[in-house]
Amino acid sequence: MTAVVERQVKRLKLFCVESPALKARVKRLRNVGLRALSGVCGPGIDHRATILGYHSVGDGQSDLSIPREGFRRHVEWLVRHGYRMLTLRQLWAFVEAHGKPPARSVVLTFDDGFRGVVRHAAPVLAEHGVAATVFLVTDYIGKTNAYDRPLAAPELPLMDWDEVERLKRLGWDIQSHGKRHLPLVQLEPSALDEELAGSKRALEQRLGDAVEFFCYPHGAFDGPALAAVARAGYLGALTCRPGTFAEEVNGSRYRLPRSLVDGCMSQGDFSTRFRRGFFRVWALAAWLRARTGHEFDCPFDELHKLPHRRLPT
């Protein structure tokens, strides 16, 4: 039975790559199912710290971007429900000082450094006097996300250094997403070290601030990648695996959970990320993946194209 399910999942993934419209529809149906299951598994709002993962805002309807007004609704929902929006650096400092994250806290993160973040997300957050964290691909600053072409993702402009410095002046937290956005599980040791240390060095030299956090490109990591991130001097690293921010960060600091937000989500899907039952559903999904051999957790379904490497559990 498991083999039959596996074959159907692979066929659906391949078909979705050829049909973006079907892929979006499948994601919407998945989100509807998550909402329903989350309500059954644990009604009510979860007040623990949560990290959200965005890509861009206002760059058209796609996996990579959400409309500006949609993002505004997210922020207003958080404000209305009493959530405290922090940068990742602020959250980490609070945990180090108090031993646990503040209740009802949320960190908004943005991968890649799309220009839409500067033009659309930053002004919305500034209206509320808060900032976010952005993870930059240093070799592509001022260019486009051409590295996503193998995934058939839309090619969008990335912010330049002047825009990065503008975010810094607004209180944003600038962190690393690698030099070239390469999946760490594909790299030889020397290239792995340079992907991590090179991006950290470039940001620190340009901005003058310590770069302490890393976000795994494509969400892909394994044992050697975890060791390399620690060796490069990062304090922590974010994955694409849903969950709330762990109070005991020492054991999992290089596998910090994050709930992804994409252009296929409704406002109801967004609020589901804060329900108690949501993470129970994902824990069940993780157990099923372990039973069926699925190892990657990533915002792009096409990651089955990458060489398969077993990830730590």
pLDDT of residue 244: 77
Rounded to the nearest angstrom, the gap between the alpha carbon of residue 156 and the centroid of all alpha carbons in its chain is 18
List CB contacts of 295: < 8 A, sequence separation 6 or more: 289, 308, 309, 310, 311
- 142 by Cβ neighbours in 10 Å (0-12 / 13-18 / 19+) ranks as middle
- Please give the domain boundaries of the chain with CATH numbers for all domains: 2-305 (3.20.20.370)
Q: Where are the alpha helices (DSSP H) in the chain?
A: 2-18, 20-41, 68-80, 88-98, 115-116, 122-127, 161-169, 189-207, 223-231, 267-272, 276-292
Q: Which sign, positive or negative, has the C-alpha torsion 139, 140, 143, 145?
A: positive
SS3 content of the chain, % helix, strand, coil (to 5): 50, 15, 35
Helix (H, G, I), strand (E, B) or coil at 244: strand
The two structure tokens encoding residue 265: 């989500």
The per-residue pLDDT string of the chain (313 residues; one tens digit each, 9 = 90 and over) reads 445 444 444 444 444 444 555 555 544 444 444 444 444 444 445 557 899 999 999 988 677 899 999 999 999 999 999 999 999 999 999 999 998 888 899 999 999 999 999 999 999 999 999 999 999 999 999 999 999 988 888 899 999 999 999 999 999 999 999 999 999 999 999 999 999 999 999 999 999 999 999 999 999 999 999 999 999 999 999 999 887 776 546 568 999 999 999 887 878 778 777 776 555 555 555 555 555 655 444 433 333 333 333 333 2
pLDDT of residue 49: 87
Q: Indicate the residue type of 143.
A: K
**Exposure string over 74-96, b if 16+ CB within 10 A, otherwise e:** bbeebeeeebbbbbbbbbbebbe
List CB contacts of 193: < 8 A, sequence separation 6 or more: 228, 231, 232
CA separation for the pair 97, 116 (Å, rounded): 34
